[in-house]
Structure 1
Amino acid sequence: MANTVAEISGGGAAEVPSFPMPRADGCPFDPPPELRRLQDQAPLSRVRLWDGSTPWLVTRFNDLRDLLADPRVSADSRRAGFPHISESIRDTRDKTRTFLTMDGEEHSRIRRMVTGSFTARRMEAMRPTIQKITDRLIDDMLAGPCPTDLVQTLALALPSIAISELLGVPYADHDFFQSNTAALTERGLAPEKMLEAQRRMVEYLEQLVGDKLLHPGDDMLSRLASEQVATGAITRQELASMGFLLLIAGHETTANMITLGTLALLEHPYQLAELRATEGPKLVAGAVEELLRYLHIVHSGRRRIALEDIDIAGQTIGAGEGIVLANDIGNRDPEFFPEPDRLDIHRDARRHQAFGFGPHQCLGQPLARLELQVVYGTLYRRIPTLRLAIGLDEVQFKRDGLIYGVYELPVEW
């Protein structure tokens, strides 16, 4: 186990494990075994972070759900005692603030501006476009070299094109924003480099917003520029920061789910065969939900802080104490999902917490679901002999990043 410190509680000494915790060798799809032990024995317990602080770790499904919906739990990362993921994120919190780290009406006001662009109905209207993009990218794969890296040829390209079209960001600039957003998801990135990457992105988007004010198009940034910036509801820089957040969330997370989900299916060939053979959307949609539950790429826990004393799971989280919500092990809670460590594409996994819960639940989940449904329903059918070009033990996983996935996924057919 990682280094520990002693915490004196109730007259006895208890070791506080470090967080994040290492995954077991040879088990790349499973949460760390220490998380399972804590879920079984101490579902609300202390962990030690990089800065020596010891926030509460929450591991059970219902406790996670209750706290994510509790107004006494704050996402405001500027509060003293907030359990930051890294030194860089802590040191840049004031200059990287978005509505993800706002509470109450301040959060709701900004979120409402973009909610209408991500409704399930609006996203469903994009299905033919997403299907066309996916088919084109697969055509290019089949016409190109074999083996190929699925990350570059499909997984990054599809969500990048989709979010670019939705926002109105020229996809021709994808190398620029992909390189900057990839840097921002590195856990150990120095604060000055993180600020520089964000500065480049926000300046780029601020200029783009200015162009939208002069020459609006049929896209989200144009609409928000006309409705919010032009009326003085928000500034041009605030809209640029909002666009920056949506651009990151709109491609980095889905790209990792495409590749990690494909890898998981390749390691479960009977379920892959069933998915490949289906012609109905119901099984595909169910497989997407199960893979989101089973994999859960947000593996550093959602971070919060208590505004008041909260009694939960037989403990009291004190006002001002940090909270780490371990949704990855929460989605493996046997009290909620029987045989949780088994991938089962027939399972009803719709209540998983891969997208969070409560007021900060992921805004873009309808788009992510759509993209995953199209990819998982198309790729394996069109390339039925798709297989790994290397051994599973050779795949390089993003164990130290903010988002779990793979750096490359060489495949052949």
Structure 2
Amino acid sequence: MTVSYRQPGVVLTDHRFTVPLDHDDPTGETIELYAREAVASDRAHQDDLPWLLYLQGGPGFGANRFVGRQAWLGRALEEYRVLLLDQRGTGHSTPATRQTLPLRGTPDRQAAYLTHFRADSIVRDCETIRPRLTGGAPWTVLGQSFGGFCTVTYLSLAPEGLATALITGGLPSLDAHADDVYRAAYPRIERKVASHYARYPQDVERARRIADHLLNTEVTLPGGHRLTVEAFQSLGLMLGTGEGSHRLHHLLEHAFTGTPQGPALTDAFQEEVRSLLSYAGHPLYALVHESVYGQDERPTAWSAERVRAEFPQFDAAKTLTGDGPPLFTGESVHPWTFDCDPALRPLRDTAEALAAHTGWRPLYDPARLAANEVPVAAAVYHDDMYVDTAHALTTARAIRGLRTWVTDEFEHDGLRAGGPRVLDRLLALARDEV
């Protein structure tokens, strides 16, 4: 049953679909997908509108919950019906959390279940539901970040389902192992941190003081999250967005207060940090994050943690023996992530089993991409902290006909920060209008 309702300028319709857990076993277990259709109020009864499918970044996040015609959605609604898909395991789709995964049984069985939550399964979900909505017509796909990874998989597995492919900050390496991804990432993160300290030099001493406090004091945040120095460093994830450096600065400047027992981290600081570090709303991100890079027999084996050891400058304890600034880290998941977060602790053994998994199937088909006939445009954000620019441009050259827009005007969140203009540019590129 579908339900429709209104927001300012938009008619929204809820859709639910049943799809196979394993598309290679179509008569086996099924899961549910949720998606929200959006159409401009004055076009709600226009049946011939083409469809645009939005694939959210992540992995592990449900689609944006817009109010009215926010961000890029208003531009899209000028000519499309838009489907905001909660990819499998996210949002209102069949959930994968500490509460639901134990229904699968042992950690090994939970991990086996989660091997079906990668880009190839997401694309096959899309191809299952597309004929039900479009009558079989191909649709335009807009992929942000991990959604862009999924879009490249779509071009590899089912290009016949695509009228146009638009990608923002999401051109993956076609053949890199997770180790290659993180080996490229740590120097890039270090540059972002250096830029932050150059903008806010007063934050050097603030970060040193917080790191020293956490190395010598056990801190448990409201809700049970353990704030270790490594967890504090992971706040560097903020530096990959347009406003992130400024938000990090505002966070650091109110970290301490005086108490009868001496200096302590303020309640306000602790609460804000808890909200930034918690995976309660998106546990799937932590569980499958490294598996999105698995494409061969090798396990990912906690790649970010292993590769970090090659960059000792990220060791805060060693940094504090001198006078240098502690380095923040970026988009990575570690074994200690599961120890710190109460939403993840029950899933630590499941994460270990996924990290040890071998035999990942390839997600991209270089030969098919080289023969691509679908119009493709991609925004590549110069020195993107989350997706390596060199990897992205190598992939761009490998996809026949792909047109790139390389810009340093935006960070990784360009689609959110400059949505209408970014989408306008991508559509113009795909249509050969610029």
Structure of higher RCO (CA pairs closer than 8 Å, 6+ residues apart): 1
The structure richer in strand per residue is 2
Is TM-score (shorter-chain normalized) higher than 0.5?
A: no
> What TM-score do you get using the length of structure 1 for normalisation?
0.25
> What TM-score do you get using the length of structure 2 for normalisation?
0.25
